[in-house]
Amino acid sequence: MKADRSVQVVRDGREQTVSIFDVVVGDIFVVKAGELLPCDGLLLRGSGLKCDESAMTGESLEVPKSVGGEGHSGPYLTAGAQVTAGAGSMIVLTVGPHTSFGKIITDLEDAEPPPTPLQEKLETLAKMIGLVGVAGGVLIFLVLLIAYLIHAKGNYHGAFGSILSYFIIGITIIIIFV
């Protein structure tokens, strides 16, 4: 809702005010100074049109646009460009994530940054702690089990409950380490 704004388009032969989210391919977009272009398009007519394309190219200089393209950068206008001077109209070629700017934003959102060296070391440390925890839990279980078998001297009444409690102690140690 924050990004929504009204723009002028020519649709069905008459000029209309629509939301930038309602601009469709084939509309004639009315370009005027101060406008942030929400779509890619081809300039049909224009006078003194200049755009700030720094969002796309990083170039801070204004880029003159014209239908003929002579001495100018051509008639192609890209989404994300700010019109700094002039007026005109363009036919909408792409909208939304299909624009040049939309593709860049989509790629940036989809790209997962590689892990930092610190994250890699922490992951290795976490694996080592997990292995030590499992080894410690198994070792404690085995020591308690052997001690029980030695002290039981053949009397294994209640063995299941004792072995189960030793197993729970071993699992608890593993959980504490992890």
What integer pLDDT is reported at residue 149 of this predicted model?
Answer: 86
Instruction: Assess whether 15 and 99 both reside in one domain.
Output: yes
- Kindly give, in sequence order, each residue whose CB lies less than 8 Å from that of residue 3, ignoring residues fewer than 6 positions away: 20
Q: Which two tokens stand for residue 151?
A: 């002290």
pLDDT in tens, 136-152: 999 999 999 898 888 87
| Residues 11 and 68 occupy one common structural domain | yes
Asked, for residue 91, whether it belongs to a domain, the answer is yes
pLDDT at residue 156, rounded to an integer: 74
Rounded to whole angstroms, how far apart are CA atoms 1 and 141? 59
Q: State the pLDDT at residue 69.
A: 60
Which of 110, 125, 146 delimits the end of a domain? 110
- 1, part of any domain: no
Cβ-based burial of 9 (10 A; exposed 0-12, middle 13-18, buried ≥19): buried
Choosing from 70, 93, 110, the residue where a domain stops is: 110
**Residue 177 contacts by C-beta under 8 Å, 6 or more apart in sequence?**
129, 130, 132, 133, 134, 136, 137
Same domain, yes or no: 105 and 148: no
Domain that holds residue 162: 117-177
Residues 83, 153, single domain; the answer is no
Domain check: are 101 and 126 in the same one?
A: no
Classify the C-alpha dihedral 18-14-35-52 as positive or negative.
Answer: positive
Same domain, 22 and 58: yes
Pair (100, 20) in one structural domain: yes
Same domain? For 29 and 71 the reply is yes
Which residues does the chain have with pLDDT short of 50? Answer: none
Q: How far lies 57's CA from each of 36, 66, 171, in Å?
A: 15, 19, 57
Q: 84 with 33: CB under 8 angstroms? A: yes
Pair (100, 164) in one structural domain: no
Domain match, 94 and 129 both: no
DSSP secondary structure code for residue 2 in this structure: -
Spatial distance between the Cα atoms of 62 and 74, rounded to a whole number of angstroms? 13
Same domain, 90 and 154: no
| pLDDT for position 9 | 92
Q: Decide: helix, strand or coil at residue 127.
A: helix
The reply to whether 41 and 123 lie within a common domain is: no
The C-alpha atoms of residue 93 and residue 29 are separated, in whole angstroms, by: 10
Count of domains observed in the chain? 2
> The domain that contains 79 carries what CATH number?
2.70.150.10
